[in-house]
Amino acid sequence: MAMATERVTVTIRPSAGEAGLLRVQDAMHQILDFFDLLSAAGGEDSKAVSWRLVDVSMASPLTATAEAFSDVPGVQAEMIARREKGRLVTSIREITESRRIPAWMDSSARAKARALFNRNLNEIGRTDIKFDEQTPITIISERSARTALVVLDSPDKAQHGEDDLSRSEMGSVEGSIIRLETYHGRPSIRLAERVTDKEISCILSPSLAQQIGPQHNWTEVWVGRRVLVVGEIFFGSAGQIARVYATDVRPIDARRLSYSDIADRNFTNGLSVREYLNNLWEDDIG
């Protein structure tokens, strides 16, 4: 069996930047889902071709290169592999830019694509795909992944009569600060929302991050406190808060006032309630 020359290189970058940590499970599942999609793009012909790992770099970012091999005597892997690559690179562009789902993508392929794009919103910062030397590198970022997920979920929502409620608006969210962390390399806080207790990432604007100062100082003062986070709120397709781009963080006194805090025994200056109200409205209320 002759070795084919068609190659694909996938690079997985951590969400916290080059110095961040990348979980092995996340990176490996990302690579597996990509090559499953690549094979699915070839249709029936893909059964005659296998993508075999020829090089891998475990340093962060993780990089894996695979070559196409023919599993059937007399079948040229190169032609099928080029067709697979051409269809997939076009399909990624259709989903993330033209907001269309390619006709060849069945429910199984869409599920793989969802998983691949979804990791770029959470565990993985960016996925770079080099299909060949002539084609520009395909980059799946947080922004393109979010667009892709909205597109991929559209047929399912239409089938079940559901509305897409994804949007963004200016507002505020109240909750308790759990910790200071990073979100795709940017400083953020993890907030437990007051009503639902759901954890939400609040990305700090550059000016707010500078105002907050060093992490150890900020943690000592703010972690555990009730705050109001002000900024742009991003909602998911089901209407839930997905994240907040914070421009201000305001402390809230969580102590609840009791009756004794606000009661004034001399409020009516010695008058009875009826006498006080009669004077207030200048009438006899009976």
Number of domains in the chain: 2
From 133-142, 176-185, 188-197, 215-224, the region with the lowest mean pLDDT: 215-224
Token pair belonging to 123: 């565990």
Same domain as 131, residue 86: yes
Position with higher pLDDT, 111 vs 259: 111
Residue 268 sits in a domain whose CATH number is 2.40.50.140
20 domain residue, yes or no: yes
Same domain as 224, residue 138: no
Same domain as 123, residue 24: yes
Identify which of 208, 218, 193, 199 has the alpha carbon closest to the alpha carbon of residue 245.
208
From 64-73, 98-107, 114-123, 276-285, the region with the lowest mean pLDDT: 276-285
CA–CA gap between residue 86 and residue 93 (Å, rounded): 11
CA–CA gap between residue 185 and residue 175 (Å, rounded): 23
Mean pLDDT on 130-140: 93
Same domain as 261, residue 190: yes
Token pair belonging to 48: 């005659």
Same domain as 186, residue 126: no
CA–CA gap between residue 142 and residue 242 (Å, rounded): 13
Same domain as 201, residue 111: no
Instruction: Give the residue numbers spanning the domain of 263.
Output: 165-286
**Confidence (pTM):** 0.57
Confidence label for 47 from pLDDT (cuts 50, 70 and 90): confident
Q: Which residues pair with 128 in a beta bridge?
A: 11, 139
Q: What are the DSSP E strand ranges found in the chain? A: 7-14, 49-57, 62-70, 124-130, 138-140, 167-183, 186-193, 199-204, 226-235, 241-251
The residue among 159, 179, 209 that closes a domain is: 159
Same domain as 14, residue 124: yes
Structure confidence by residue, pLDDT tens digits, 156-187 = 554 444 555 667 888 899 999 998 888 777 88
Structure confidence by residue, pLDDT tens digits, 198-211 = 899 898 888 888 77
Residue 99: CB atoms within 10 A of its CB come to 12
Starting at the edge strand that comes first in sequence, how are the strands of the sheet with 138-140 ordered? Answer: 49-57, 62-70, 7-14, 124-130, 138-140
